[in-house]
């Protein structure tokens, strides 16, 4: 683990079983996270970007053990938590929280928002005095831009942006060291997106938070991240400091993503347009060799024969491409 590392995963893999729909046909395996190794440092925001279905959300949820990994190791401040039971994980749940993409689906419609924010505190046995707990919940609501007088209301009475603020307040309640932000602004209007991003940026500075921010929107990733990991079909294909990655994208997939960002005139993402041929392969039936070889304009026979892994191409800049 890096000297300032908070959470590290080594060769993390998650395989889901896909039941067969035909009689006498074997079940298939879906490789959602494919041998990922990376670390998140204290106080940083690691952005994870890629197309829908590439494994971003599964990676985030597996790293904090909401999903049990199939293989690999998860280290929290150097302690291996991979094999811990749910009971043994309970103390560590305070350290690792998540903000979901759909705040309404993650809130119990029968609970008031005050009860929803207080629920993790009760589960962890914190603030047992009801008056103290209520005051703490109200303080969290104020910190996240919510009127404490609305604590008695139910989720359906709030807008999407307000619900996301509720989700953020709930995640903050346990004073976690790491929060996984799983597409937290993708379902919001652009103006509301900026408010939530500014709120997260302020909270990160004030509370010295560490964030893992998952998104398919490169502009959002560019705004909020310190480092960026680019995912394709369950693998991290490029990892670098934000400024380095956006200025000098190395992997053909990263270059194609950046080139696809709409521009008015010439902008900082302006690259030669790359048209990717074909469709994304199924994670149930991955291609041989490099997983990007079937769509890569630079692919050769060598690429289709050998698997690639991240290698350092410049200080702190890693890419998984045999042509670099």
What is 232-251 written as a DSSP string?
Answer: ETTEEEEEEEHHHHHHS--S
Q: How many CB atoms lie within 10 A of CB 44?
A: 19
pLDDT for position 287: 83
What is 52-85 written as a DSSP string?
Answer: TTSSHHHHHHHHTTSS--SEEEEEETTEE-TT--
From residue 152, alpha-carbon distances to 19, 111, 148, 149, 316 in Å are 44, 9, 9, 7, 49
In degrees and rounded to multiples of 5, residue 251 shows phi and psi of -70, 140
Q: What is the mean pLDDT of the chain?
A: 91
At 194-212, the pLDDT tens digits run 999 999 999 999 999 999 9
pLDDT at position 154 over 90: yes
Tokens of 115: 């009860």
Tokens of 298: 């630079």
At 85-118, the pLDDT tens digits run 999 999 999 999 999 988 788 899 999 999 999 9
Map tokens 């009971």 to a residue.
87
Residue 264 — pLDDT band, cuts 50, 70, 90?
very low
């Amino acid at each position: 683990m890096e000297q300032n590392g908070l959470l590290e995963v080594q060769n993390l893999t998650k395989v889901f079983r896909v039941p067969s729909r035909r009689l006498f046909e074997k079940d298939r395996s879906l490789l959602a996270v494919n041998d990922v190794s990376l670390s998140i440092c204290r106080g940083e925001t690691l952005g994870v970007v890629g197309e829908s279905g590439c494994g971003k959300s599964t990676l985030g949820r597996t790293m904090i053990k909401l999903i049990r990994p199939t293989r690999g190791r998860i280290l929290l401040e150097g302690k291996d938590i991979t094999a811990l039971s749910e009971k043994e994980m309970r103390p560590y749940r305070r350290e690792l929280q998540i903000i979901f993409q759909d705040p309404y689906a993650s809130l119990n419609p029968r609970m008031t928002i005050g009860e929803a924010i207080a629920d993790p505190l009760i589960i962890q046995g914190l603030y047992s005095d009801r008056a103290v707990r209520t005051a703490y919940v109200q303080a969290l609501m104020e910190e996240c831009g919510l009127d404490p007088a609305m604590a008695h209301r139910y989720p359906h009475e709030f807008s999407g942006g307000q619900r996301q603020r509720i989700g953020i307040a709930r995640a903050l309640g346990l004073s976690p060291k790491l929060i996984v932000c799983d597409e937290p602004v993708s379902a919001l209007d652009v103006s509301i997106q900026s408010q939530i991003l500014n709120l997260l940026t302020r909270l990160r500075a004030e509370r010295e938070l560490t964030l893992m921010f998952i998104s398919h929107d490169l502009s959002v990733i560019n705004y909020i991240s310190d480092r960026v990991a680019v995912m394709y079909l369950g693998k991290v294909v490029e990892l670098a400091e934000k400024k380095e990655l956006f200025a000098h994208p190395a992997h053909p997939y990263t270059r194609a993503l950046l080139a696809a960002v709409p521009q008015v005139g010439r902008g900082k993402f302006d690259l030669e347009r790359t048209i990717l041929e074909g469709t994304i392969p199924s994670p149930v039936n991955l291609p041989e060799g490099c997983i990007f070889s079937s769509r890569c304009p630079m692919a050769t026979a060598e690429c289709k024969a050998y698997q690639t892994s991240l290698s350092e191409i410049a200080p702190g800049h890693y890419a998984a491409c045999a042509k670099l």
